[in-house]
């Protein structure tokens, strides 16, 4: 009987210690640090886009990044499998919890990455629940749209800021 009480107490203590060390709930966000010191938090879109041939689909990836030193300190980008036909800038329609704006994003290498530098883009997401990004692939190619459920975002931004030794946007 006494042995059972000791075992139960040990299990309760282990459970309590486990809860105290639990990581923050970041939903589906994946936080990583790169070789260059950049810290990123990435999230796959909840929808799929069909690739150029129409046989396969993929989910675009939204990445928020923080650099411990250097400028710009904060940035965000959208990773695509199909390239956009723009060469330098592209207009993206941004819907955050129902409020719509148009923003100018830079086109990255081979047109498969859309980038926006600065903390104001991340600041607009801090209290958001949902983000939808919409863009044109080209003049005749149609539109792309990526929909993101932002559960765990504030925890992910907090971890990025802590890793970069800076305040969240």
Is 86 a domain residue?
yes
pLDDT, position 72: 73
User: Does any domain span residue 152?
Assistant: yes
- 93-130 pLDDT, tens digit each: 999 999 999 999 999 988 999 999 999 999 999 889 99
Asked if residue 20 is part of any domain, the answer here is no
3 in any annotated domain: no
The whole-number average pLDDT for the span 45-63 is 84
- Asked, for residue 111, whether it belongs to a domain, the answer is yes
Does residue 71 lie in a domain region?
Answer: yes
30 and 43 in contact (C-beta within 8 Å)?
A: yes
Highest mean pLDDT among 54-68, 116-130, 136-150: 116-130
Look up the CATH number of the domain holding residue 88: 2.60.40.1880
Task: Compute the average pLDDT of residues 3-17.
Answer: 40
- Which residue range(s) make up the domain with 38? 26-163
- Residue 106, domain member (yes or no): yes
**How many structural domains does the chain have?**
1
Taken in order 128, 129, 130, 131, the sign of the CA dihedral is positive
CA angle 161, 166, 167 (to 5 degrees): 75
Please check whether residue 1 lies inside any domain of the structure. Answer: no
């Amino acid at each position: 009987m006494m042995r059972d009480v000791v075992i139960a107490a040990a299990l309760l203590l282990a459970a309590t210690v486990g809860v105290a060390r639990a990581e923050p709930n970041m939903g589906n966000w994946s936080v990583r640090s790169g070789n260059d010191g950049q810290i990123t938090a990435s999230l796959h879109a909840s929808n799929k886009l069909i690739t150029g041939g129409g046989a396969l689909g993929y989910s675009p990836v939204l990445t928020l990044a923080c650099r411990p030193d250097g400028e710009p300190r904060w940035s965000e980008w959208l990773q695509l499998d199909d390239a956009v036909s723009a060469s330098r800038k592209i207009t993206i329609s941004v819907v955050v919890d129902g409020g719509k704006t148009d923003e100018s994003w830079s086109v990255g290498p081979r047109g498969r990455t859309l980038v926006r530098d600065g903390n104001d883009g991340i600041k607009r997401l801090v209290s958001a629940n949902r983000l939808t990004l919409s863009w044109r692939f080209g003049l005749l190619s149609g539109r792309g749209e990526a929909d993101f459920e932002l559960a765990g975002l504030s925890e992910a931004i907090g971890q990025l800021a802590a890793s970069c030794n800076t305040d969240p946007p």
